[in-house]
A and B are shown apart, each in its own frame.
Chain A
């Protein structure tokens, strides 16, 4: 049967909900719980099976200033660390809400049944992590993400059990549509009215009518060849938002996690948790040198130890020693590793050595890092209690995402929300480890509550789904099946990944980004002619063909924003502009689609001023620190300038940056 014939005969499955959550990782599940608790009929749509989302890969923990291990910790310290980690490009309000609300959101998980590791007095234990001043990450060994997603999944089940007792139907108020992919958002005028999707199992289509849609689709890492991200991470939410008229910010900031596996080749990119370093692991080059001491940038030099003695003393006596430089924010460590390998001091397989074996007794390593032990043993024949691991940077997280209102997570489009990795602003130019799981919880809940408020405010005047839009979405989803003799989607995907990896990767320069943009233009032509063998029943070739359109447009956002930002900051390093420039700190680059998306999607990027931090938050930092980030004009506005302070003679350039 021809696809056109199938389409004409096909009835599209219809559903009506108050709130539609796209994505079933931590952010989506927390949002759905909040929406359902607000009395909304809620649907969750996920590309994989329920409980398999990328959140399960999170290892280290959820950052929350509970002060269980070091009572000096509080939200102000967490806020400060987050802003420093993001090189002051964060949306201050999001960073503030996150730091204030994270403890409550973590404690709440215990009431859902989560079992975190404990302190001696029975509280939730907290571990050290890069960029966090005090031990702050609530964790369960090195499988915290699994605990988080399972806990939220089980909370959803518990809500369904409540509904079952009341109505006899588990799915009366909250239903999970698993292995279901959204390809388009639907609108009524300016407002969201629903979404169009297909079942992966049989390729049949669904149209959802819903006045509020919460995007919780995660990131874009699958656009890079070496990545810790799974097949799902194709930037769907980013692309859906753009096509619906929303904007993205900070797309040039892509986090390369410093420690991914490098060998054997088939496991390249798989994550090695930062907890290895948090628990004492150190980085060494081929000359057996603990090289991170050479890479402490100027902005952090007061907070990090300059020799091994002080660094090692910190684990037991953090009040009188500074932190080991292995625990610098991720962008710094990733650049340092990259520089060591480039300088010819890498390990045999092109990484560096991460050594925990000489730092902790074998049984302690197995207790604290069981899944790392297992992963290296099974996949690389390496016993991490006996020998060092080989590690190198891997694409891990995108700081950029949908531009949202910090309090409600609503995008520029009424009824459209974004939360977690698909939202932008919270992490600035670089996310601290542990701040993702807490971000999911804090803003997941906020978006669910805000979406419920919005739906109630409509007072029954629901935006309508237009049948012409449903038909158009259907036609576009079927296009790759209809085309004969076009190109193989796997080949296009692989070329896209190689392009982004080579030309818009961890270290960038103008001519390479320009090359990438030309290559992406060429890929756009190829994607338009992609064709798929086989039918609509669980056909991964077809699914990839549909994902390619999203991967392409988000890659273009990354490249275009990266070309414009002529400085180096956090997850954006320009070889040709190695310094961090205070003028650029005041700017967000905003991506949107121009032109008719049906004809030709064109990404436009325009600068926009970053919201200015109010004085009460600024006063949490000392003047000297702010002077490293801010322009002279900004500094003049600050009331707290000490009498003897002088402006630095020249703009601060981190010696590690661009190395």
Chain B
């Protein structure tokens, strides 16, 4: 029931590299990550790849399969024709370390710039009361497994390296939205979303939503509502007047 499949895998490091051809056995039910593992075990023992859970829960094995950002562990071989070459390349937006492994440090840096949950001062542990309907909005965003595919596909940084400085990317803008929608968070996150995390760069092309392996509606449920919250603030005449008066 196994058959041989033609694979092309990017091999190389920061100094350069290219696609290498492999013919690998494929068995029923296997996913791309299984094939990469078979390559390691039989033909290329030093092939660098990240993976952990192999069940779509940890978000480690992100790569581009035939040009599409995917988790390798959730990409089944049966979705390709038997004579269709499968090309696996590292995520393009992040610097290559080696083979399929990229330096995703940008994401950890951005994570650190989003102010943490600000707990209510008057509630002791155990006293938090929230309704399910109120936590559900943020819970959707907390399904994020941090595979960084949305960060990888977002053209704001994919095509414009310089924007990385001023733009947190969909994953961390969603984190801001998650905290803003948290029923008990005490911080005001609207101005910083725009001014520090670069919410304005997002022009809602929904590429992030399309690649999300957790099917989180990043654009519709996090980024657009966050933009609306910022706009409400900015153009609300009462807020405008209040700001004017306070500044005096």
Contact = CB atoms under 8 A, between A and B. Distances in A.
A141 B132 CA distance: 12
A231 interface: yes
Given A115-B142, A264-B29, A490-B40, A540 B52 contact: no
Contacts of B233: none
A54 B52 contact: yes
Interface in B93-133: 97-99, 101, 104, 108, 111-112, 115-117, 119, 125-126, 128-132
A380 B54 CA distance: 13
Given A533-B46, A538-B101, A143 B143 contact: yes
A494 interface: yes
Contact of B116 (A48, A107, A154, A533): A154
Q: Chain A: interface residue count, which band? A: 35 or more
A117 B132 contact: yes
Contacts of A475: none
A52 B59 contact: yes
Nearest to B59: A52
Given A49-B60, A266-B31, A157 B139 contact: no
A113 B182 contact: yes
Contacts of B129: 121-123
Contact of A146 (B41, B128, B145): B145
A331 interface: no
A104 B126 CA distance: 7
B101 A266 contact: no
A270 B55 contact: yes
A190 B138 CA distance: 49
A157 B142 contact: no
B49 interface: yes
Contacts of B82: none
Contact of A538 (B48, B54, B111, B112): B48
Contact of A56 (B57, B74, B142): B57
Contact of B45 (A170, A488, A538): A488
A118 B45 contact: no
A374 B27 CA distance: 22
A263 B51 CA distance: 21
A265 B29 contact: yes
Interface string A484-503: 00001111001000000000
Interface in B138-162: 138-139, 142-146
A371 B142 contact: no
B65 to A, nearest CB: 14
B210 interface: no
A260 to B, nearest CB: 11
Given A140-B139, A154-B116, A110 B128 contact: yes
A154 B117 CA distance: 8
Interface string A119-158: 0011101000000000000001101001100100011011
Nearest to B78: A381
Given A379-B31, A534-B46, A113 B51 contact: no
A264 B119 CA distance: 46
Contacts of A389: none
A117 B145 CA distance: 18
A426 interface: no
B30 interface: yes
Contacts, number: 174
A537 to B, nearest CB: 5
A374 B41 contact: no
Interface in A94-108: 103-104, 107-108
A161 interface: yes
Contacts of B28: 264-265
A122 B53 CA distance: 33
Nearest to B41: A490
B119 A378 contact: no
B57 A146 contact: yes
B48 A539 contact: yes
A115 B139 contact: yes
Contacts of A140: 139, 142
Nearest to A178: B108
A111 interface: yes
B55 to A, nearest CB: 5
Given A118-B131, A538-B98, A56 B53 contact: yes
Contacts of A539: 46, 48
Given A111-B125, A146-B145, A378-B56, A157 B47 contact: no
A512 B172 CA distance: 53
B66 to A, nearest CB: 18
B131 A56 contact: no
A113 B116 contact: yes
Interface string A530-549: 00111101111110000000
A98 to B, nearest CB: 18
Interface in A20-73: 48-54, 56-57, 66
A52 B40 contact: no
B23 interface: no
Contacts of A534: 45-46
A270 B31 CA distance: 14
Given A52-B58, A110-B125, A267 B76 contact: no
A534 B138 CA distance: 45
B27 A265 contact: yes
B50 A48 contact: yes
Given A264-B30, A538-B101, A157 B145 contact: no
Given A49-B60, A264-B29, A538-B99, A230 B125 contact: no
Interface string A295-327: 000000000000000000000000000000000
Given A157-B111, A161-B112, A540-B49, A56 B145 contact: yes
B54 A270 contact: yes
Contacts of B115: 161
Given A110-B125, A232-B52, A49 B131 contact: no
A201 interface: yes
B57 A115 contact: no
Q: Which of B28, B115, B117, B130 gathers the greatest number of chain A CB atoms within 10 Å? A: B117
A107 B144 CA distance: 22
A349 to B, nearest CB: 10
A104 B231 CA distance: 40
A374 B56 contact: yes
A112 interface: yes
B9 interface: no
Top 4 A-B pairs, shortest CB-CB distance: A264-B29, A534-B46, A113-B117, A158-B116
Given A104-B126, A201-B101, A378-B56, 20 more contacts: A48-B50, A50-B108, A57-B57, A111-B119, A111-B125, A113-B182, A150-B142, A155-B116, A157-B116, A178-B108, A230-B52, A264-B28, A270-B54, A271-B55, A371-B56, A379-B76, A380-B29, A537-B97, A538-B101, A540-B47
14 contacts: A56-B52, A56-B53, A107-B125, A115-B130, A146-B143, A146-B145, A154-B116, A201-B98, A371-B56, A488-B45, A534-B46, A537-B98, A540-B46, A541-B45
